């Protein structure tokens, strides 16, 4: 029987992880995995924990007593059960991908052959583009300004937070973690500290577009009127401290309702990347501004709008 920290049998065919009802030895290995992957971003580690927790719960519900190198069928059953509950193909695929690093760790560090070697990811349709049109983006910003906020500060703050994603490409956690010292209005720059990426997150610098500058100045004027001195750039008027992820979700939800446009905060980041590429900005520059580790990630953010197709097809001509 496998115990936490004990070696696996030398014969790969015999290697397996056995565990009691509470799956403690498997959990011990997962704790070691997380400890060894601390160079990944906090968001990635959180996602690994959530996915592993869902898989562990599935194993417990099925009364599974051991997993071995043939456990691919358990992973497939887990994904099938998720789909049966109504989970979308995209989410099911992300679950499958989120569990893989743990089994890669077991393969590399414990000699437990990963079932992922012979598995293919769950099928999923091509993702629909998330970027919104330029007209929609303007409508979203106008809705942020005009929504039924308690006071002008809340409206200016909501507009500035959404504009950080739309004009500067900041992610949700990057907006929430932004400090007052990170935004240099004189130099027109924004410093993102420990953004998404391995090694605890990647630092980068992006720049403030003219329209974003106007939006941020309006927010800072309202912040000064209320004498909010928090080190965080975006501040709660009630607590005087930084905002929570829940508050940001509520802001997005209210603006979504007001605008009538089904968007997410990440869709505004997609719009940032897409608009830069449509305006002819070189893809390697867009990659740096967006903080992508791989240029292929930047390419996946592009969206071809109907007006693009119409404009370019009008140029088609066969000259004799």
Q: pLDDT tens-digit profile of 85-112?
A: 988 887 888 899 999 999 988 888 888 8
Q: Do 12-118 and 134-310 agree at the fold level? A: no
Contact 60, 27 (CB under 8 A): no
What fold does the segment set 134-310 form as a domain? Answer: hpI Integrase; Chain A (1.10.443)
| Cα–Cα distance, 134 to 184 (Å, whole number) | 27
What is the pLDDT of the chain when averaged over all its residues? 82
pLDDT at 15 over 50: no
List Cα–Cα distances, 72 to 99, 120, 192, in angstroms.
12, 10, 40
pLDDT number for residue 305: 64
Structure tokens at 10: 């030398």
Q: pLDDT tens digit string along 205-214? A: 899 999 999 9
- Percent above pLDDT 70 for the chain: 82
Locate all alpha helices (DSSP H) within 23-111, ordered by sequence.
24-36, 42-62, 72-84, 89-110
pLDDT at 17 exceeding the cut of 70: no
The helices-and-strands tally (H runs, E runs) of the chain is 13, 5
Cα 196 from Cα 302, distance rounded (Å): 20
Pick the CATH number of 12-118 from 1.10.150.130, 3.40.50.720, 1.10.300.10, 2.102.10.10: 1.10.150.130
Rounded Cα–Cα distance for residues 12 and 16 (Å): 9
Q: What is the pLDDT of residues 172-198, one digit of tens each?
A: 989 999 999 999 999 999 998 865 655
Give the per-residue pLDDT at 135: 92
Q: What integer pLDDT is reported at residue 126 of this predicted model?
A: 54
Q: Where are the domains of the chain?
A: 12-118, 134-310
Is 199 buried (19+), middle (13-18) or exposed (0-12) by CB count in 10 A? exposed
Q: In what order do the strands lie in the sheet with 189-192?
A: 183-184, 189-192, 204-207
State both tokens at 193. 């500290």
């Amino acid at each position: 029987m496998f115990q936490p920290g004990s070696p696996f049998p030398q014969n790969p065919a015999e290697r397996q992880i056995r565990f009691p009802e509470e799956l403690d030895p498997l959990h011990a290995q997962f704790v070691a995995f997380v400890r060894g992957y601390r160079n990944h971003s906090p968001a990635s580690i959180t996602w690994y924990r959530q996915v592993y927790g869902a898989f562990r719960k599935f194993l417990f519900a099925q009364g599974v007593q051991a997993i071995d190198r043939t456990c691919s069928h358990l992973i497939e059953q887990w994904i099938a059960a998720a789909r049966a509950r109504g989970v979308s193909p995209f989410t099911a695929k992300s679950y499958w991908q989120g569990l893989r690093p743990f089994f890669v760790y077991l393969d590399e560090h414990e000699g437990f052959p990963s079932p992922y070697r012979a598995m293919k990811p769950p099928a999923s349709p091509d993702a629909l583009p998330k970027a919104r049109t330029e007209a929609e983006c303007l409508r979203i910003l106008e809705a942020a300004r005009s929504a039924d906020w308690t006071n002008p500060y809340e409206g200016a703050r909501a507009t500035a937070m959404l504009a950080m994603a739309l004009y500067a490409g900041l992610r949700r956690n990057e907006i929430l973690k932004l400090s007052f010292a990170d935004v240099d209005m004189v130099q027109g720059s924004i410093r993102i500290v420990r953004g998404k990426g391995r090694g605890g997150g990647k630092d980068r610098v992006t720049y403030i577009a003219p329209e974003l500058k106007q939006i941020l100045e309006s927010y800072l004027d309202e912040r000064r009127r209320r004498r909010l001195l928090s080190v965080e750039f975006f501040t709660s008027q009630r607590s005087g401290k930084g905002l929570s992820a829940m508050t940001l979700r509520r802001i997005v939800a209210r603006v979504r309702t007001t605008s009538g446009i089904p968007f997410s905060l990440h869709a505004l980041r997609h719009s940032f990347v897409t608009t830069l590429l449509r305006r002819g900005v070189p893809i390697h520059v867009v990659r740096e501004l967006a903080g992508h580790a791989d240029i292929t990630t930047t390419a996946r953010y592009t969206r071809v709008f109907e007006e693009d197709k119409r404009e370019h097809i009008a140029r088609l001509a066969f000259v004799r």
